[in-house]
Structure 1
Amino acid sequence: MPHDIDVVLVAPRYLAGPGDPAWVTVPLHRASGWSTAEDPLVPRVILTSPDQLAQLRLAPDPDPAEPWWTLRHAHHGDQRAWSMTFDAHTPVEIIAAVTDALTAPAAPPLAPGDPYTMLYAAGWNAPRHHDGHTSVEGMTAPDGLARVDRTVHEDGRTASWIVETSVHHLPSVWRAYVDGNTPPHLVAALFGALADETPLVREPHRVPHLAATHGRTSAGQVSAETFAFALEGRTTALARRRTPPPIPAPAPPSVPKPRRAR
């Protein structure tokens, strides 16, 4: 008989904890054709895009100060090389927002202007300060637990983005570093995932303590089938993005009606 599974809905999502890395790696491999480096002696996951320009490394390190996720893209045409890194406790759904945008068949059109549009809409605040020849533009979540900073030089060149979740005097929960050359639509995808107010689903034993003490949690239930096939459904949906629509069958040629003999 089908049964239900207990889950916890966690908000804000940046406190939800890491989740299952397969949420990122499986769609990249199965839906977008990224190849894997098959080496059982190396305790890390390496995925490379079909064009060999992008690579994702998942290299768990005993040192919590080191990033677990590294996404790199080589110089190509007018696009300079860029990279992103994410710490171990970054929710996989936030990383997936970036990889989904990267592997989309075409980048979505972006309106020119403020890169913080989605954060503004979610009520994030905008402090700013100057430090010598650079200025730091920042956005802080309404609860004060997450922030985005960007260092901009006087010549307008962006040095880097830093996304950080932290609780008062405690060490950072997680950090992400975004190269200043990262394409705008990927930065927008990252910020959109941060601003998204939809709670993330976690198993009860995987809910971080900080989520219970500083976030909002609520108990719920989902069917075992829904829970088991969530990743498969996500992968299938992403694979459909790359499937061209069927070519309509050509119309049959018109045959002239026979004339009556007189």
Structure 2
Amino acid sequence: MAPTPETVEVDFITPRHLAGGGDPAWITVPLHRACGWSHGNDPLMPRVLLSSRDQKALLRLEPDPDGQWWTLHHAAEADRPAWYASFGARTPVELIAAFTDALTDPAPAPAGSTPSDPYEPLRQNAWQPPAIGADGLVSPDKTAYVQRLGTAQEPGAWFVTASLGPERKPVWQARFGEHTPARLVAAFTTALTDPHPAARTGSLRSLPTRDPGVVTRRTTDVLAVHVAAALEERVHALAARHTVQTAPGPPRQPPARNSRSR
């Protein structure tokens, strides 16, 4: 009798912006292995430092109970002053990854093919101003709020805040400096509106809330080999962006999964 394949309990959580932070390796491993970012080695410090090949970008992951855990600083360029982006500890890695994937894309999408206005993906998904005449847009369930400070003449920084509802304490906040490229902020807001659930396993299944009126969680047993392979597949997909292909191959079919919902 053949042994039963090992399975892992996976929580699929919606909305994804309240799924908790997730595994930092979803961001750090592809940046190093697929995008060539170098990392420092300081075993005495609980932090990760990654720098881009051109040494213009530095990503710092450092546990800070009083501030942002993820901070990316980018040096000034000929057409843009220095800028930054930062993310709170419970910001889902899927959202941060959308930002870093857009930053490291060797061939950004042509102008007009992707949103350049960070508000546009939100409007397309029925986000509305929080009040008449108020700035910014809030999600239909009132658990996420995107706002840009400043004025039309002098625009300022972007703030994205996730909470359990109006007048509730923030679960996490993302901040983008005034000079952060709009297409990168738009990549983040596009991911923010993605209706697909975020998957969490093991210790990552801890949620900032157990309120079933806010967060929906579906637990499924998934083959362990598929869970383990997800990061490797992501690394290969991002590395392929740096490879010039003469002709696109047929689309890859996802492997059949032996899972059972419960």
TM-score class, shorter-chain normalisation, is 0.7 to 0.9
Shift of 1:78: 0.3
Asked if 1:76 is matched to 2:77, the reply is: yes
Shift of 1:91: 0.5
Shift of 1:116: 1.3
Structure label with greater radius of gyration: 1
Q: How does 1:51-90 map to 2 (within 5 A)?
A: 51-61=54-64, 63=65, 65-90=66-91
SS at structure 2 position matched to 1:228: helix
Asked if 1:235 is matched to 2:232, the reply is: no
Alignment-derived partner of residue 251 in structure 1: none
Shift of 1:41: 2.4
C-alpha distance 56-8 of structure 1, shift in aligned 2 (>3 A): same
Shift of 1:128: 6.5
Alignment-derived partner of residue 142 in structure 2: 144
Q: Distance in 1 between matches of 2:161 and 2:16?
A: 13
SS at structure 2 position matched to 1:72: strand
Alignment-derived partner of residue 259 in structure 1: none
Whether the 8 Å CA contact 2:116–2:182 is kept in 1: the answer is no
Shift of 1:73: 0.6
Amino acid at match of 1:80: P
Amino acid at match of 1:183: P
Alignment-derived partner of residue 133 in structure 1: none
Q: Distance in 2 between matches of 1:59 and 1:75?
A: 23
Q: Percent identity?
A: 45
Asked if 1:36 is matched to 2:33, the reply is: no
Shift of 1:220: 1.6
Q: Distance in 1 between matches of 2:154 and 2:107?
A: 26
C-alpha distance 21-113 of structure 1, shift in aligned 2 (>3 A): closer
Aligned length: 239
SS at structure 2 position matched to 1:23: helix
Q: 1:35-55: CA deviations, max 9, x gaps? A: 001222232100000000011
Alignment-derived partner of residue 159 in structure 1: 156
Shift of 1:204: 6.2
- Unpaired stretches in structure 1, ≥5 consecutive residues: 131-135, 248-262
- Aligned-residue Cα RMSD (Å) equals 2.0
TM-score (norm 1): 0.85
Shift of 1:217: 1.5
Q: How does 1:110-259 map to 2 (within 5 A)?
A: 110-111=111-112, 114-127=117-130, 137-153=135-151, 156-168=153-165, 169-203=167-201, 206-210=205-209, 212-213=211-212, 214-245=214-245
TM-score (norm 2): 0.85
- Unpaired stretches in structure 2, ≥5 consecutive residues: 248-262
